A and B are shown apart, each in its own frame.
Chain A
């Protein structure tokens, strides 16, 4: 029982990170139609922004986290200008290959800057340990779940209670109509990329203390985020959260109860099953047949 509680909390913590990465991916997809294969590298950049600010520059953690997130926001804006603007009229596959190409550049740029030796990113609450029903739970895991819940609440407020967020949803729904209504479409699109980069940054900063910070960590995260989006439903924010938590839990529980070698096969198997039986996922977009 104590094992189970521990596993559940750890699964929820890693699942929260996947959920945040998946939310960033979904925001960009629904606003701009871009399937961002560099989404995992965004998270990796987030972790390494943390490494740069907290370990290399030795900033105290509130300043370091702020600086890291600022860097991520700038990076999101840069990505919008360098990749999205030139390629926005291209076919889906060209954009997919473009994000993959940028992802290769990002990973190798990080490798050049930080080397292949993994870092250990500290957590501000790492000395805190909680005991619940005899199970020892790391404070960081609990903090991750709380921060994710807060972020989801903030996102909900942004999208449903501010004119900025409503504008972003309008652009996601129909760009032409939004432009005709006088919305500054490009600015809102750029904001979607910045928001995605910020969420990836938060995911990366929280992931750093759980995994080792390694420049090749991006690809596995991207795959988990894809599985989460498919299971939850492509283009759906609640779906990304449910999918992310599901993938995290299935990974942690699968590793200890089924087989640690095949733990990833569980989430991908379920992802393919969903694609076959219910491709719109749990909460997903209605799939149209564009004939």
Chain B
């Protein structure tokens, strides 16, 4: 793949986001910030689930690991935020490796329930290890990010920064998708036996996808901590893992654009359903269900031909069309 697509994705995110940031009120900017941070986490989840086919219900725990790492390093040890963020991301990657080596031997719903168990355990520890995590009171007074002396305290300037990170994350993800490593992940998802026959080291590719997804999660978590400047265990419960997965499935798994659209839609949907009053969450569930039934390949699948199926397995007419498109 050429470098053009990732650059285009990044540019579109920046332009659309900058335009929106001039039009919206502070409250909607805050939601947009949350959507952008979720989008980073969901692009990460897309490596594990969308490409490598690993059902992870523990993604929020990695977001939490990034957030708690940043919070502890800046409040307990008074590190600079810019130093704490890479350290927390690296720590989360190591954690993902330690968790991934034993757990990734499992498949399908076994892996789903094991990662769910990991997420629940993370929440229990975060809520009860009071000396370190502050228990359910959480950690407050996390310092704000500063760029060249300008503190990112208001929603608009933080959004600009979050969009920049999102654009870079999406572009890097698009590059990986187009590379040998991305194709190896997709091959492992489609057929493990066949891909190991062609010389792909399946456990290694799975672990790489899992660790990569945790790195994105930790970046999102660290930025979340600097944005809210207060974190508590309920921000990283397993319900959030399911939300991330729902964002990806609603947007269209295996698609970076879909991950971003899903994060936006699921973040803003409760807002748009507010006219339903206190019933909005009940309708939210039905709405997600309707998308699953009527748009089986998600929002990103709307523009694709019908024969381009959800699994990414193409029927032959689509294959012919795709090969025609590929010619110069």
* Bound CA span A35–B107, Å: 14
Taking a contact as CB atoms closer than 8 A, the residue among B109, B114, B120 that contacts A92 in the complex is B109
The verdict on A52 contacting chain B, using a C-beta distance below 8 Å, is: no
With contacts A97-B245, A264-B124 taken as known, whether A90 is within 8 angstroms of B103 at the C-beta atoms is no
What per-residue 1/0 map shows which CB atoms of A230-242 lie under 8 Å from chain B?
1000100000000
The verdict on B191 contacting chain A, using a C-beta distance below 8 Å, is: yes
Please determine whether A265 and B249 come into contact, CB atoms closer than 8 angstroms. no
Interface centre among B112, B249, B284, B285 (most CB of A within 10 A): B285
What per-residue 1/0 map shows which CB atoms of A109-145 lie under 8 Å from chain B?
1011000000000000000000000000000000000
With contacts A275-B114, A276-B102 taken as known, whether A101 is within 8 angstroms of B281 at the C-beta atoms is no
- Given the complex, which residues of B lie within 8 Å of A182, measured CB to CB? none
Stretch at the interface among A158-166, A204-212, A219-227: A219-227
The verdict on A87 contacting chain B, using a C-beta distance below 8 Å, is: yes
Please determine whether B192 and A223 come into contact, CB atoms closer than 8 angstroms. no
Please determine whether B239 and A219 come into contact, CB atoms closer than 8 angstroms. yes
The verdict on A57 contacting chain B, using a C-beta distance below 8 Å, is: no
For A100, give the chain B residue with the smallest CB separation: B242
Please determine whether B282 and A105 come into contact, CB atoms closer than 8 angstroms. yes
* Bound CA span A130–B181, Å: 66
Please determine whether A268 and B121 come into contact, CB atoms closer than 8 angstroms. yes
- Given the complex, which residues of B lie within 8 Å of A276, measured CB to CB? 102-103, 105, 114
- Given the complex, which residues of B lie within 8 Å of A227, measured CB to CB? 117
The verdict on B22 contacting chain A, using a C-beta distance below 8 Å, is: no
* Bound CA span A219–B240, Å: 13
For A280, give the chain B residue with the smallest CB separation: B110
With contacts A264-B124, A268-B121, A276-B103 taken as known, whether A112 is within 8 angstroms of B282 at the C-beta atoms is yes
Please determine whether A265 and B125 come into contact, CB atoms closer than 8 angstroms. yes
A residues 60-103 in Cβ contact with B at 8 Å? 83, 86-87, 90-94, 96-98, 100-103
Q: A35-B109, A105-B285, A279-B106 are in contact. List 8 more A-B contacts (CB 8 A).
A: A35-B112, A91-B311, A97-B249, A101-B292, A105-B289, A112-B282, A276-B103, A279-B110
Closest Cβ of chain B to A272, distance in Å, is: 5
Please determine whether A102 and B249 come into contact, CB atoms closer than 8 angstroms. no
With contacts A93-B49, A93-B245 taken as known, whether A102 is within 8 angstroms of B289 at the C-beta atoms is yes
24 A–B contact pairs at CB < 8 A? A92-B108, A92-B109, A93-B245, A94-B249, A96-B55, A96-B112, A98-B288, A101-B289, A104-B288, A105-B282, A105-B286, A106-B285, A108-B284, A226-B116, A226-B117, A234-B110, A261-B124, A261-B128, A265-B125, A268-B124, A272-B121, A275-B106, A275-B114, A279-B106
Please determine whether A262 and B293 come into contact, CB atoms closer than 8 angstroms. no
- Count residues of chain A with CB under 8 A from any CB of chain B: 44
- Given the complex, which residues of B lie within 8 Å of A103, measured CB to CB? 285
* Bound CA span A97–B288, Å: 8
Closest Cβ of chain B to A160, distance in Å, is: 27
For A276, give the chain B residue with the smallest CB separation: B102
- Given the complex, which residues of A lie within 8 Å of B193, measured CB to CB? 291
Please determine whether A98 and B242 come into contact, CB atoms closer than 8 angstroms. no
Closest Cβ of chain A to B289, distance in Å, is: 5
Specify the main secondary structure of chain B where it touches its partner.
helix
B residues 230-267 in Cβ contact with A at 8 Å? 239, 242, 245-246, 249, 253
For B287, give the chain A residue with the smallest CB separation: A101
For B294, give the chain A residue with the smallest CB separation: A86
Please determine whether A104 and B284 come into contact, CB atoms closer than 8 angstroms. yes
9 A-B pairs with the lowest CB-CB distances in the bound complex, closest first: A105-B285, A291-B193, A104-B285, A108-B282, A101-B288, A108-B281, A261-B128, A101-B285, A101-B289
Please determine whether B113 and A275 come into contact, CB atoms closer than 8 angstroms. yes
Closest Cβ of chain B to A100, distance in Å, is: 5
- Given the complex, which residues of B lie within 8 Å of A112, measured CB to CB? 278-279, 282
Interface centre among B127, B245, B288 (most CB of A within 10 A): B288
- Given the complex, which residues of A lie within 8 Å of B28, measured CB to CB? none
Please determine whether A272 and B118 come into contact, CB atoms closer than 8 angstroms. yes
- Given the complex, which residues of B lie within 8 Å of A223, measured CB to CB? 116, 120
Please determine whether A265 and B124 come into contact, CB atoms closer than 8 angstroms. yes
For B293, give the chain A residue with the smallest CB separation: A86
A residues 159-187 in Cβ contact with B at 8 Å? none
For B99, give the chain A residue with the smallest CB separation: A272
Closest Cβ of chain B to A228, distance in Å, is: 11
- Given the complex, which residues of B lie within 8 Å of A87, measured CB to CB? 292-293
* Bound CA span A35–B245, Å: 15
Please determine whether A268 and B120 come into contact, CB atoms closer than 8 angstroms. yes
Taking a contact as CB atoms closer than 8 A, the residue among B191, B282, B289 that contacts A109 in the complex is B282
* Bound CA span A37–B285, Å: 13
The verdict on B296 contacting chain A, using a C-beta distance below 8 Å, is: yes
* Bound CA span A98–B245, Å: 11
- Given the complex, which residues of B lie within 8 Å of A109, measured CB to CB? 282
With contacts A108-B279, A234-B110 taken as known, whether A102 is within 8 angstroms of B245 at the C-beta atoms is no
- Given the complex, which residues of B lie within 8 Å of A271, measured CB to CB? 113-114, 117
Closest Cβ of chain B to A119, distance in Å, is: 19
A residues 241-291 in Cβ contact with B at 8 Å? 261-262, 264-265, 268-269, 271-272, 275-276, 279, 287, 289, 291
Please determine whether A90 and B113 come into contact, CB atoms closer than 8 angstroms. no
The verdict on B30 contacting chain A, using a C-beta distance below 8 Å, is: no
Please determine whether B292 and A94 come into contact, CB atoms closer than 8 angstroms. yes
- Given the complex, which residues of A lie within 8 Å of B117, measured CB to CB? 226-227, 268, 271-272, 275
- Given the complex, which residues of A lie within 8 Å of B55, measured CB to CB? 92-93, 96
Please determine whether A98 and B279 come into contact, CB atoms closer than 8 angstroms. no
* Bound CA span A112–B253, Å: 33
The verdict on B229 contacting chain A, using a C-beta distance below 8 Å, is: no
